Amino acid sequence: MSTTFVAVDAAQYEQMMGRWSRELAALFIEFAGVGNGESIIDVGCGTGSLTFALLDAARDLHLTAVDYSPIFLAAARAKPKAEAVRFEQADATALPFADASFDRALSLLVLHFVPESQRALAEMRRVVKPGGTSAAAVWDGAGGYLAQRMFWDTAACLVPSGEEARKRAYSRPLSRKGEMKAAFLETGFSDVVETSLTIRMNYAEFADYWGPIAGGEGPAGAFFQKLDAKEKATIERGVRAAFEGGAPDGPRSFVASAWACAGRVP
User: What are the structural domains, with CATH classification, of the chain?
Assistant: 10-264 (3.40.50.150)
Between 227 and 7, the higher pLDDT residue:
227
Helix or strand or coil: residue 183?
A: helix
**What one-letter code names the amino acid at 121?**
L
Contact 43/28 with Cβ under 8 angstroms? no
Instruction: Count the residues in the chain.
Output: 266
Amino acid identity of residue 144, one-letter, is: G
pLDDT bin (cut points 50, 70, 90) of residue 2 is low
Distance CA 191, CA 203 (A): 38
Look at phi and psi of residue 99 and say left if phi exceeds 0, alpha if psi is from -120 to 50, else beta: beta
Dist. CA 130–CA 226, nearest whole Å? 47
What single-letter amino acid sits at 130? P
Q: What is the pLDDT of residues 59-113, one digit of tens each?
A: 999 999 999 999 999 999 999 999 999 999 999 999 999 999 999 999 999 999 9
Q: What number of CA atoms fall less than 13 Å from residue 57's CA on the CB side?
A: 22
Share of the chain above pLDDT 70, in %: 97
Which among 94, 187, 72, 61 has a CA at the least distance from the CA of 134? Answer: 187
Is 1's pLDDT higher than 60? no
- Report percent pLDDT > 90 for the chain: 89
Q: Which residue has the higher pLDDT, 2 or 136?
A: 136
What are phi and psi for residue 88, nearest 5 degrees? -145, 145
249 vs 1 pLDDT, higher one: 249
Tell if the pTM clears 0.85, that is, is over it: yes
Residue-wise pLDDT for 199-227, tens only, equals 999 999 999 999 999 999 889 999 999 99
Q: How far apart are CA 118 and CA 201, in angstroms?
A: 29
Q: What is the DSSP letter of 92?
A: T
Digit-coded pLDDT (tens) for 35-52: 999 999 999 999 999 999
- pLDDT attached to residue 7: 63
Backbone φ and ψ for 203, nearest 5 degrees, come out as: -110, 140
- The mean pLDDT value of the chain amounts to 94
- In a 3-state reduction of DSSP, which class is residue 60? coil
CA distance 98 to 207: 45
239: part of which helix (H) or strand (E)? helix 229-244
Q: How far apart (Å, rounded) are the C-alpha atoms in residues 90 and 75?
A: 16
The whole-angstrom separation of Cα 53 and Cα 72 is 16
DSSP conformational letter for 17: I
What's the pLDDT tens digit per position in 179-195? 999 999 999 999 999 99
Distance CA 220, CA 232 (A): 12
Element (H, E) at 126: helix 117-126
Through-space distance between the first and last CA atoms of the chain, rounded to whole angstroms? 30
